[in-house]
Amino acid sequence: MRILRFFITRIFLKRWILVLGMIILLFLANYLSFTAARSIISTFQGFQQIETLNQDGTFIANLDPDSKAEDETVNIDKTRKLYEYLHNNYTYALQADGFVTSLDNEHKMEVTFNYINEEAYKINQLRLSQGNHLNFIYQLNKDQIPVLVGAGLAKTYPVGSTIEIKDPVTQQLVNLNVQGVLKKNTYRSNFYAPNSKNYFNFSIFLPVNEEFIQSAGLDLHVNGLMDIALLDSNEEEAMNLKEYIQENLGMKFNFFTQQENVDYFEEYYIYSLKIICTITLLLLLIIVCLAIWNNLISIRLMIKDFTINLVVGLSYSKLRAIFYGYFGLLISITLALLFALIAFNRYGFWLGKANLLATYGIFGLISMDWIALLIVLFIDLIIAFTIVELTIKKIKRIPISVGVLN
């Protein structure tokens, strides 16, 4: 330890520009690997969530990119009729997120209402930290509506409390009864962008039944339709619905089968992840080459000091250990910088009151950040091994006499 401290303070830090250069390169390598690792983990998590929908008999609606929703053809009467038709002829999962409303809470965040029907609720299998699951049997204007609240609202609205609020989609004054609290960082991945997530720490899950849907406004009807999933259905039924929507609302929806979805997602994910990995590897290679160059020029400048120590009894194995210790320190510094950057970014969502991005975690970092950091650490170890071994090889190739001459 003393010899390591001696080398760091008396030899490496004597040329601090080179040390700073190495820290910058390691930091860039770390940030790049972290971004790639987190993208891959997040995509994988999203894919796992979406996979629950990829079952036989499930058809997921997707608005055709060429379809234009014409305002004059879509009105509340038509959408009500459509949902009635859906209710009578199909089993469907409906979930519409992101209806923002203001509701007092200790973090002064805006709150989003997420509307979910029973089928979608069964598929999503939301996990609770307190309370009970939702029930969907209630009368809109008579009963209190049981709801689930996100972890960020649990202190202000604990289980059993009631919330009186004007519902954003029915525009009616409703009485909500908090039935349960969602586990921290419960999320939903975007169906077509699985690496992007909405966190429900400041959301309220409101169960919707047929009566509620019929009382809701056009916003819920149209938004709900965008990701609607037909369950236990077949191609003919999906085609019928497609034609029904096109005739009545003038909107063209595609309903993809399970196989089509699996094929599309696999091709889409694998293509994207391949490109991400290629870009990351190429950039990492350039950065590592620069780091190796930076270290080799350090050797050129410090060879005199190394030789003196080798002459007075320092062995190559001890020198190797010193280099590993030195790189261990540099990696710790860069990881600490990266950690601070991620924590600051996560904290930024709280400061910016981004209610769908604010998350809970140890030092503000969530599980996928920690996994990505572990991957970064592993990549750092490979980089450190490569650089140190090349450096030792280079030092061994320089004759002691040349070093002494220096």
Is 344 a residue that touches another protein (CB under 8 A)?
Answer: no
The Cα-based distances of 56 to 90, 100, 106, 255 in angstroms read 15, 34, 44, 13
- Nearest distance, CB of residue 17 and another protein, angstroms: 5
Which of helix, strand or coil describes residue 146?
A: strand
User: Judged by CB under 8 A, which stretch of 68-76, 202-210, 217-225, 287-295 contacts another protein?
Assistant: 287-295
How far, in Å, CA of 293 to CA of 387, rounded? 9
User: Judged by CB under 8 A, which stretch of 26-34, 109-117, 151-159, 360-368 contacts another protein?
Assistant: 26-34
The smaller minimum CB distance to another protein, of residues 126 and 283, is found at: 283
Give the closest residue to 42 by CA, choosing from 196, 192, 269: 196
Q: Could you say which residues in the range 32-91 bind another protein, by CB under 8 A?
A: 32, 35-36, 39, 43
Name which position in 7, 12, 27, 339 contacts another protein (CB under 8 A). 27
The smaller minimum CB distance to another protein, of residues 293 and 316, is found at: 293
The smaller minimum CB distance to another protein, of residues 173 and 285, is found at: 285
- Nearest distance, CB of residue 42 and another protein, angstroms: 9
- Nearest distance, CB of residue 60 and another protein, angstroms: 17
Is 193 a residue that touches another protein (CB under 8 A)?
Answer: yes
How far, in Å, CA of 210 to CA of 206, rounded? 13
Is 384 a residue that touches another protein (CB under 8 A)?
Answer: no
Q: Which helix (H) or strand (E) holds 317?
A: helix 316-351
Name which position in 68, 122, 166, 300 contacts another protein (CB under 8 A). 300
Pair 233, 183: CB distance under 8 Å: no
Pair 179, 131: CB distance under 8 Å: yes
CB atoms within 10 A of CB 233: 21
Is 187 a residue that touches another protein (CB under 8 A)?
Answer: no
Is 373 a residue that touches another protein (CB under 8 A)?
Answer: no
- Nearest distance, CB of residue 115 and another protein, angstroms: 24
The smaller minimum CB distance to another protein, of residues 268 and 324, is found at: 268
Largest CA distance in the chain: 95
Pair 19, 249: CB distance under 8 Å: no
Name which position in 285, 286, 362, 400 contacts another protein (CB under 8 A). 286
Residues in contact with another protein, total (CB under 8 A)? Answer: 37
Q: Could you say which residues in the range 220-249 bind another protein, by CB under 8 A?
A: none
Which of helix, strand or coil describes residue 230?
A: strand
How far, in Å, CA of 326 to CA of 310, rounded? 18
- Nearest distance, CB of residue 322 and another protein, angstroms: 21
Burial environment of residue 159 by CB neighbours within 10 A (0 to 12, 13 to 18, 19 or more): middle
Pair 103, 165: CB distance under 8 Å: yes
Burial 333-367 (b: 16+ CB within 10 A, else e): ebbebbbeebbeebeebbeeeebbbbbeeeebbbe
User: Judged by CB under 8 A, which stretch of 24-32, 73-81, 148-156, 316-324 contacts another protein?
Assistant: 24-32
Name which position in 11, 18, 163, 204 contacts another protein (CB under 8 A). 18
Is 196 a residue that touches another protein (CB under 8 A)?
Answer: yes
How far, in Å, CA of 369 to CA of 363, rounded? 11
The first and second tokens of residue 8, run together, are 């760091």
The smaller minimum CB distance to another protein, of residues 43 and 114, is found at: 43
- Nearest distance, CB of residue 275 and another protein, angstroms: 6
Is 275 a residue that touches another protein (CB under 8 A)?
Answer: yes
The residues with which 165 forms a beta bridge, in sequence order, are 174
Name which position in 271, 316, 344, 363 contacts another protein (CB under 8 A). 271
Is 301 a residue that touches another protein (CB under 8 A)?
Answer: yes
Name which position in 3, 78, 272, 360 contacts another protein (CB under 8 A). 272
Radius of gyration of the chain, Cα coordinates, nearest whole angstrom: 29
Point out which residues bind another protein (CB under 8 A).
Answer: 15, 17-18, 20-21, 24-25, 27-28, 31-32, 35-36, 39, 43, 190, 192-196, 268-269, 271-273, 275-276, 279, 286, 290, 293-294, 297-298, 300-301
